[in-house]
Amino acid sequence: MRNLAILLLLTACADTNDDTLTTEYSDVSSFEAAAMILRDKCGPCHTTGHAGGLTFSESNDMLYDRLVGVQSFSMNCEGEMLVEAGNPENSILYSKLTEPTCGSIMPPRKDGLPLLTDFDKNVIKYWIETGARPQ
């Protein structure tokens, strides 16, 4: 039900506000939507060779292949799934936004960066929950 509310909210935004971030994707369960959030809000640290070996700055195709069905190889999270399609709770890409099962919450609190909004978190959760589709 909450997911439906998000969808409706997004549609409402898209109707009135042509230049907001939300208008760039029409489907909140899409990978485009999740990837946009990751690049905008997590990209500064997650560039090539940094932060747990995870890079968000590459093309959507490459990012998708790096995340979905792939296990972490980092010191903190080795063996945990980055994204398990259909299962956000078992995906550290999501659990690290809420209750990390390894390492720190993202973005790390000590850096003073704003955490994701509930909307952002739900976009990522919903994308994973609905099967982590490639588009």
Of positions 10, 34, 36, 42, contacts ligand HEC by CB under 6 A: 42
Spatial distance between the Cα atoms of 24 and 46, rounded to a whole number of angstroms: 22
Phi, psi of 72 (to 5 degrees): -65, 150
Strands (DSSP E) contained in the chain are none
Instruction: Residue 78: name the closest of 61, 95, 53, 60 by CA.
Output: 53
Residue showing tokens 């994308």:
127
Q: Of the candidates 23, 55, 57, 74, which one interacts with ligand HEC according to CB under 6 A?
A: 74
Interaction between residue 103 and ligand HEC (CB under 6 A): yes
Tokens of 115: 């955490």
Minimum CB separation of residue 123 from ligand HEC in Å reads 11
Q: How many residues bind ligand HEC (CB under 6 A)?
A: 27
- Chain residues that interact with ligand HEC, rule: CB under 6 A: 38, 41-42, 44-46, 51-54, 72, 74, 76-77, 82, 92-93, 96-97, 103-104, 106-108, 111, 113, 116
